[in-house]
Amino acid sequence: MSQMTAAAPQSSNASRLQRINVSIANRQRVRAVDSHLLRRIVKTLLSELLQAGHADVGIHLVAALEMTRLNETFLHHAGSTDVITFDYADHASRMDSEAFRSTKHAPSLHGEIFICVDEAVSHARHFRTRWQSELVRYIVHGLLHLLGLDDRRAAARRKMKSEESRLLGRLSLRFPMNKLARPVRGKVTAKHD
């Protein structure tokens, strides 16, 4: 697979000014993650695939205990979950799901996405995929929420899932998702994880 850098798009949109800021905070010990590669994937997603005009996004990789606290405190739901998104943007800059793919407007995103790595590992086993792909899927999901897409109703959930799969597929062609698993010093990791 070829790897692409997180440069601005080379299309007619390349002339627009982009400011893409992505911070990664890894506060879990479930899996070792290559934060540099993950940042490149997210920047490519934002600048090239989602064509964000400006983005200031924090990605927090957390364990189940921290995600449970966040879920119960902010969403009032019991237990852990896969992804929680906090949107700090001016809502006038958000798009509705119908306008998402047809707009020429370069969206501005500002928020934080909390990803539970325990959930990514568990769901990967259940869906017979790699935890690294689940991790990126959750980031895509969170960014789609920051764009204004919603998944509360069945029809909207299907559209969002379809867009997640499309974007994840495009990213998978450009980046080796399995390389997100960083080897832990002195520890042998299984090849199937």
* 19-180 is classed CATH 3.30.9.10: no
Angle subtended at Cα 160 by Cα 154 and Cα 161, rounded to the nearest 5 degrees: 90
According to the model, what pLDDT value does residue 63 have? Answer: 98
- Collapse the DSSP code of 141 into the 3-class scheme (helix H, G, I; strand E, B; otherwise coil) and give the result: helix
CB burial of 41-63 (b: ≥16 within 10 Å; e: otherwise) equals: bbbbbbbbbbbbbbbbbbbbbbb
Per-chain mean pLDDT for the chain: 85
Confidence of residue 6 (pLDDT cuts 50, 70, 90): very low
Model confidence pLDDT, tens digit, residues 134-152:
999 999 999 999 999 989 9
Model confidence pLDDT, tens digit, residues 163-175:
999 999 999 999 9
